[in-house]
Amino acid sequence: MSEANNVTLTIDKQTVRVPAGTLVVDAAKKAGIDIPVFCYHPKMEPVGMCRMCLVEIGRPSKDRETGETVLDEHGDPVIQFGPKLDTGCTIEVSEGMVVRGFTEKVMDARLEMLEFILTSHPLDCPICDKGGECPLQNLTMRYGPGKSRFLLDDKIRLAKQLPLGELIYLDRERCIQCARCTRFQDEIVDDPVIGFFNRGRALEIVTFSDPGFDSYWSGNTTDICPVGALTTVDFRFEARPWELNSAASICNQCPVGCNFTFNTRREAKTGGDFVIKRVMPRQNEAVNEIWICDKGRFSSYHFSEREDRLTQPMIRRDGMLQPASWGEALDFAAGKLEELGSGLVALAGGRLSNEDLFNLKSLAEHLGGKAVLNTHVAGGDIVSRHGFKAGTDLAKLGKGDAVLVIACDLEEEAPIWWLRVKQAAERGARLVVANPRRTKLDASASDTVRYEYGEELSALDRLPERFTEAGSLAIFYGAEGLGLAGSAALAAALADLLSGSGVADGPCSGLVAVHGRPNDQGAWELGLRPAADLAGALAGAKAVYIAAADPAGDGVFEKGDRFVIVQDVLLTPTAELADVVLPASGFMERDGSYTSGERRVQRFYTTLPPPPETRPDFTITAQVAARVGLELEGRHAGRLFAMLAEAVPAFSGLSFNRLAEVEEQWPIVGREDMYYGGTTYANYQGLGAHLVRQADGEDVWAGETRAGEAGAQKRGARDAKNSGLLAVPVTRLYDRGTVISQSNTLAPRLAERHLGVHPETARKHRLLDGQPAHIRAGGREAKLVVRVTEAAPEDVLLVPRSMGLDLDGPSEAAVKSLVKEVA
Amino acid sequence: MRSGELGGAAGAAPPTPQFTGPLYAMNDLLKKYGSEIETVLAKYPVEQKRSAVMPLLYIAQREKMYVSERDMAEIGEILDLDPTEVGSIVGYYTLYYDRPGGTSRIQVCTDLPCALRGADAFAAGLCERLGIQLGETTADGAVTIEAVMCLAACDRAPMFQLQNGSGLKYYENQTVESTLSLIEKLKK
Amino acid sequence: MEYILLRHRDIPNLHELDVYVRHGGFEAFNQVVTKMKPEDVVEEVFKSGLRGRGGAGFPTGLKWRFIDKGNSPRYVVANADESEPGTFKDREIMEGNPFQFFEGVMICAFAVGSNTAYNYLRGEFWELGDFLDGKLAELEKAGYLGDNLFGTGYSLRIHNHLGAGAYICGEETALLESLEGKLGQPRLRPPFPPSFGLYGKPTIVNNVETFANVPPILTKGADWYRTIGTEKSPGTKVFSLCGNVEKPGNYELPLGTTFRELIFEHGGGIPEGRGIKAIMPAGASSAIIIANDEALDTPMDYESVPRVGSMLGSASIIVIDDSVAMDWLVRKTLHFFKHESCGKCTPCREGTYWMAHLIDRIHTGQADADQVGLLDDVARNMEGKCLCALGEFAIQAVITGIERFPEDWKKEVPEKMM
Ligand SMILES: Cc1cc2nc3c(=O)[nH]c(=O)nc-3n(C[C@H](O)[C@H](O)[C@H](O)COP(=O)(O)O)c2cc1C
Ligand code: SF4
Ligand code: FES
């Protein structure tokens, strides 16, 4: 906002200069002055409900005739105050305004409002989870009455432990009817699945959705609830906030890279060890603002607590995996690799950090082999040339800008991006959504384009415009119905679209691949590439070194007589086949960095001491490397990152220190201000930094030798059309992937392994909703439950990834109900 | 008919799986009141069909005199609302009910103006004759007697409104006797 | 005096369309649509000095002037929620003289360039809604509503919309929320409906009685209208008279008529020879007036009533005789407001609940004088801090009941309670 749009006002004798349109409470907060609020939240429209923010507001009085400001004998403007107090949360600042927040009248009003609120509020702070970080508690201490004149006998008695579904509990006595939760669900995330019931003092929060409080965002309501009315099922009655330690981390569930904080505590039940008690969002306004989705909150760390964590290296002896010492295991692995010479394939998963991947790739290349990325989304190399760059922030997209989202169910694939794109549209950006079926983002779109699966490229010809007039153009493509070849072709076409628009260098222009894993983009930037034919690549190798991937579980790997090293946290089906198993530490047990899909590199910090016999992936790789004559940094992630930044142009200029830089963010959260932004953690550990955009080049990965793969997939789609049924891979947020499956909290929310079918198609193929069916597609088969849904196009089977049948791309399918028909 | 009455396994048909899913989940309200619902929807701009939620709730309530969760879901489906948004409306307004009561509700105004003209005594007398308390339903489930706020008939107290499936009707300048005979008629 | 609004009392079957038309019905609307410019209609109403009859007495023409002409579509909404305890005038107008009311809505719609109007009726007016649906159908059939009215390009439709039992939906922004299918809770203001109303579009909300005044103003002119009533409160008003009075009912009288004339000449005085103790001139929302001679001789208009410490409001005059104790009366009003508080803002939600508990104890003799003081204090703590006027209404009877009738609160507290 330019200086010209600023206004000057006085708040409690302090002169404050803020942009016109700023609300009085925000202006005060910016100046470090507290005006208490309950219902107001800086991320939502003001509603003026709680009346906690009442202050005296005066304005310079104007002469009726001349319109001139009236001056007193000292030549100062005469300030006119209204007879009543005003709500600071609903009134915008104006030039010359005078706000008084600490007069007797105002202090009385605060006391009175608190007394009103406390008439119905239980005094159960000693057992309340919010105690210690509770706005009502804090503000009562500061402004409230010492005791209540309300008769205890008249106190309302209501349900105290009411599950609103499986994730969130409601204490109706504690609710102060501020509507922050219901407004968050409605205004911010467009899931109005909780609401008020009754009216007056009988107002209570209810849900009629099925399942209750059916939203991927529910946990955020517990952060902004200014009392202990809403609590998460995983934390309630678990610990007191002041007993908790915290460590900054990055979510490992999707490419957005939400910043969060792990809260830990030593517990008797783990023999005095630290355990993670909860996950709280950590503010990064350029990434996740102050929110995180429920998948990140409720399922990101549970795998580390598994009883069957790999905690000991193992070597296959006599056909059985047997415990070994680290020395033995490393010697054995390295010896074999040297013995087998070139021909190593290192398969890496995108859950590995930048440092892990860098080391692994160095090792593979040293041995004359190559490092392969295990992913279903291609185009990351194109993204490194056309992706986001320093200064890009989705929050800056608005009027005059454009966003294209294609082949993507954004809320399911990367929830926070869905939110950020929706908000960009609400700020006036033109949003075009192109997808074969309806998704939640359609509701925010200015235009939607429908196409048939396999017709992604021709859909681009039907876009409503070429965006040549846009200020910035952000493009997201995902994995809806696409395999590697399809997404490679789409990414290339989108890069052309972006370049052709002429606005590729707009401040927030860029191409984003909605990858499946947190660091897939990092892997691409570091030079790892997928294999068009992963099964073939693995089958052709003499030795394979698999880290954070499970090709056997995915059905693309057989051991044969290959030498197999597996480095992982759990005994996956692949690990069970290995010759050597190397136990890795989880990401919360070490430090490192991830590169988000927006090409922002962010640090995560050590939260828990690692289980004794586990080591960070980059360390293990370095130790193997040392034994084959390659010197790699294996001890210090920061030092390794510095080397990486030297070696890889995209990372140039970055360092762990640089990534740890912070700056003041708005709204202010944490600190004393819990009543304001909620219990989201302030960010003191780093906002991260963007990679440098790479120059355009020729060597685009397009399925290696099988450059025509996309065409083949398209033909596959067309063949299927003729034969009747096309199965396509789609992504569901709550799938049955390895990490999410370890969480008991989310378990009840995970859908059964299913496939989605249009009602007409179901009828044609005699498929019954909720009943099992046998499906054969893409050379694989599975038994899945049928879900009839109008979201599916006709003659298409929607097959969610990691839900029992993983497809490489659209494939012809045969399906048969497993229910005997009733005559 | 309970399956046991069929006498033996031979007669018991296996449960027939039904199509569910949105398209087949036959929206009962639409099926039954389709054209009426269309007339209601026509009153409001197409993109503002949420406005129809109150009239649709009256329709849903017509038969059972309360709105079930299924009704909420069906109305939500028609109006593109979450069932919770429909449920909220049921909870907020006093003329909708989320649970069954008497088939007819006799709602006596006992607010200040009517009370100045004997409404409290009327309501008490009526309840006494029916052997129930205010807010209760007669044993046969026929009528619930309730006290309500001002009904804009202050000059004709004692008065009440009768709410049942067929709508809502005012009865003014009432006596306990006249009301009892109305109740008798209602029971027929 | 000749009726201007309750003309059905003079003309039998005025609710029949042909009767209404025979008595000059829709001449004004026809004139307006075929011969007048919308701005001129607004100016005529402005000049008449007509003030809103829904309670606040806001100049109707001024409100119409505020309509945001730069935004469309625009809406007109009639406030037929009539829920203030003691008010029953709109109902009689709509039952007896429905076409005059609708004609007023139609003239307003033309004046502000609206093609759609809604009539928001309280849900309890179910039968009336049915009746009015029939009337609207007749109007469409007769060509007074629909497309290309009187051969011009102007189109207009009116729809009835039933509420479902919520006093707060009489507050115009809560009404609009309710009409949008949401919880009927008041909005923040500004913006006001003429710029941001129904569906966020410019909207005029007026009371039923306000609209019913409009056709005669256009037929006979603003100057004629100003000859009735007082200078600042022109016109007649339908006073709903009820409570302890011999002949309760609606009385259409010029604004400025005294309480005494209404209660004793028209209303027949207090029954059973009892004395008059107090008057609530604006229904349950009133500050209670001590019914002394000064009060009784006060003219009922928007300026004069505040001089005796109250407001004219919707002019629903509740007469209280000397057998009524204030703690009983306040208990009635408090239970009403507790029941009707929407719950959106803290002071009203908690305050009405708290006060209702206090008055129950006080009325049933379970509380001492301190509790009366506390009741007064709670009311004063609400004062000026609520989001809408309901909270303000709720404390009027409490504060004035205690202040002006102190002897009514000196209750014996049974020994065992102390
Ligand atoms: C709590 C509350 C209840 C109200 N109830 C009504 C009502 O029932 N009818 C009405 O016409 N106005 C009512 N009003 C006034 C309306 O808000 C609004 O001022 C009026 O409809 C405007 O019309 P008018 O200018 O023609 O009076 C109420 C206001 C408040 C604050
Ligand atoms: S004063 Fe507050 S709670 Fe009361 S009705 Fe108005 S907004 Fe609702
Ligand atoms: S009313 Fe301003 S913060 Fe609640």
Per-residue pLDDT tens over the stretch A656-668: 999 999 999 999 9
Residue C416 above 80 pLDDT?
Answer: no
CA A757 – ligand 1 centroid, Å: 52
Given pLDDT bands bounded at 50, 70 and 90, which one contains residue A496? very high
Question: pLDDT tens for residues A36-50?
Answer: 999 999 999 999 999
CA C207 – ligand 1 centroid, Å: 7
Residue C287 above 70 pLDDT?
Answer: yes
Q: Using DSSP bridges, classify how beta strands B167-171 and B160-164 pair: parallel, antiparallel or unpaired.
A: antiparallel
Is B91's CB within 8 Å of A196's CB?
A: yes
Question: pLDDT tens for residues A446-456?
Answer: 999 999 999 99
Work out the average pLDDT over A697-715: 60
| The pLDDT value given to residue B15 | 36
Given pLDDT bands bounded at 50, 70 and 90, which one contains residue A310? very high
Residue of B nearest to C175 (CA): B51
Say which DSSP state A242 is in: G
Lowest average pLDDT, out of A357-361, A374-378, A787-791, goes to: A787-791
CA C384 – ligand 2 centroid, Å: 12
Return d(Cα A479, Cα C155) in angstroms, integer: 51
Q: Which residue has the tokens 């100049």?
A: C59
| The pLDDT value given to residue A697 | 77
Residue A305 main-chain phi, psi, to 5 deg: -95, 0
Which residue(s) pair with A516 in the sheet? none
In three-state secondary structure terms, A2 is: coil
| The pLDDT value given to residue B157 | 95
Q: Tell me the best of A89, A91, A673 to mutate to test the pocket of ligand 3, counting ligand atoms within 8 Å of each CB and taking the most.
A: A89
Work out the average pLDDT over A263-271: 90
Work out the average pLDDT over A408-432: 98
Residue A689 above 80 pLDDT?
Answer: yes
Q: Which residue, among C190, C345, C392, C388, has the nearest Cα to A91 in the 3D structure?
A: C190
Question: Please, what is the Cα angle at B95 between B92 and B99, to 5 degrees?
Answer: 80
| The pLDDT value given to residue A4 | 76
Q: CB burial class (10 A; 0-12, 13-18, 19+) of residue C137?
A: exposed
Question: pLDDT tens for residues B34-69?
Answer: 899 999 999 999 999 999 999 999 999 999 999 999
Residue B12 above 50 pLDDT?
Answer: no
Return d(Cα A550, Cα A35) in angstroms, integer: 54
Average pLDDT, chain A: 94
Hey, which chains touch C, using 3+ CB pairs under 8 Å? A, B
Percentage of chain C lying above the pLDDT 70 cut: 98
Please report how many Cα atoms fall inside a 13 Å half-sphere around the Cα of residue C308, on the Cβ side. Answer: 25
Given pLDDT bands bounded at 50, 70 and 90, which one contains residue A120? confident
Say which DSSP state A387 is in: S
Given pLDDT bands bounded at 50, 70 and 90, which one contains residue C368? confident
| The pLDDT value given to residue A240 | 87
Work out the average pLDDT over C35-47: 98
DSSP for A482-541?
--HHHHHHHHHHHHHHHHHHT-TTSTT-EEEE--SSTTHHHHHHTT-B--TTHHHHHHT-
Residue A708 above 70 pLDDT?
Answer: no
| The pLDDT value given to residue A241 | 86
| The pLDDT value given to residue B82 | 96
Is B23's CB within 8 Å of A195's CB?
A: no
Q: Using DSSP bridges, classify how beta strands C116-121 and C75-80 pair: parallel, antiparallel or unpaired.
A: parallel
Work out the average pLDDT over A112-126: 93
Q: Which residue has the tokens 């295990």?
A: A374
Q: Which residue, among A658, A655, A664, has the nearest Cα to A684 in the 3D structure?
A: A664
- Do A463 and A429 form a contact (C-beta atoms < 8 A)? no
CA C340 – ligand 2 centroid, Å: 9
Work out the average pLDDT over A700-724: 58
Residue of C nearest to A180 (CA): C344
Count how many pairs of residues, chain A against chain C, have C-beta atoms within 8 Å: 87
Percentage of chain A lying above the pLDDT 70 cut: 96
Residue of B nearest to C85 (CA): B150
Question: pLDDT tens for residues A147-160?
Answer: 889 888 888 899 99
Residue A108 above 50 pLDDT?
Answer: yes
Residue A705 above 80 pLDDT?
Answer: no
- Do A818 and A462 form a contact (C-beta atoms < 8 A)? no
Q: CB burial class (10 A; 0-12, 13-18, 19+) of residue C190?
A: exposed
What is this model's ipTM?
0.94
Interface with chain A: mutation pick from B71, B80, B82, highest number of A CBs within 10 Å? B82
Q: Using DSSP bridges, classify how beta strands A204-206 and A195-197 pair: parallel, antiparallel or unpaired.
A: antiparallel
Which 3-state string (H, E, C) describes chain C? CCCCCCHHHCCCCCCCHHHHHHCCCCHHHHHHHHHCCHHHHHHHHHHHCCECCCCCCCEHHHHHHCCCCCCCCCEEEEEECCCCCCCCHHHHHHHHCHHHHHHHHHHHHHHHCCCEEEEEECCCCHHHHHHHHHHHHHHHHCCCCECCHHHCCCCEEEEEEECCCCHHHHCHHHHHHHHCCCCCCCCCCCCCCCCCCHHHCCEEEEEHHHHHHHHHHHHHCHHHHHCCECCCCECEEEEEEEECCCCCEEEEEECCCEHHHHHHHHCCCCHHHCCEEEEEEEEECCCCEECCHHHHCCECCCCCHHHHCCCCCCCEEEEEECCCCHHHHHHHHHHHHHHHCCCCCHHHHHHHHHHHHHHHHHHCCCCCHHHHHHHHHHHHHHCCCCCCHHHHHHHHHHHHHHHHCHHHHCCCCCHHHC
| The pLDDT value given to residue A820 | 76
The dihedral sign for the CA sequence A354, A360, A364, A366: positive
Q: Using DSSP bridges, classify how beta strands A811-817 and A772-777 pair: parallel, antiparallel or unpaired.
A: antiparallel
- Do A256 and A520 form a contact (C-beta atoms < 8 A)? no
CA C387 – ligand 2 centroid, Å: 6
| The pLDDT value given to residue A342 | 81
Question: pLDDT tens for residues B83-96?
Answer: 999 999 999 999 99
Please report how many Cα atoms fall inside a 13 Å half-sphere around the Cα of residue A155, on the Cβ side. Answer: 19
Highest mean pLDDT among A713-727, A798-812, B75-89: B75-89
Question: pLDDT tens for residues A532-583?
Answer: 999 999 999 999 999 999 999 988 999 999 999 999 999 999 999 999 999 9
| The pLDDT value given to residue A711 | 53
Return d(Cα B56, Cα B67) in angstroms, integer: 10
| The pLDDT value given to residue C1 | 72
Residue B11 above 80 pLDDT?
Answer: no
| The pLDDT value given to residue C417 | 42
Return d(Cα A660, Cα A593) in angstroms, integer: 11
Residue A653 above 80 pLDDT?
Answer: yes
Residue of B nearest to A193 (CA): B84
Q: Does the beta carbon of C395 sit less than 6 angstroms from any atom of ligand 2?
A: no
Q: Which residue, among A27, A240, A256, A248, has the nearest Cα to A134 in the 3D structure?
A: A240
Atom of ligand 3 nearest to the CA of A178: 4
Note which residues in 215-254 of chain C have CB less than 8 A from chain A.
none
Residue A703 above 70 pLDDT?
Answer: no
Work out the average pLDDT over C58-73: 97
Note which residues in 319-338 of chain C have CB less than 8 A from chain B.
320, 324, 329, 332-333, 336
In three-state secondary structure terms, A443 is: helix
Residues having CB within 6 Å of any atom of ligand 1: C 52-56, 58, 60, 79, 81-84, 168, 170-172, 205-207, 210, 388-390
Partners of B84 on chain A (C-beta within 8 Å) are 192-195, 206-209
| The pLDDT value given to residue B3 | 30
In three-state secondary structure terms, A198 is: coil
Specify the pTM: 0.95
Which residue(s) pair with A402 in the sheet? A430, A473
Residue B9 above 80 pLDDT?
Answer: no
Work out the average pLDDT over A312-331: 97
Q: The tokens of A251 are what? A: 């979510």
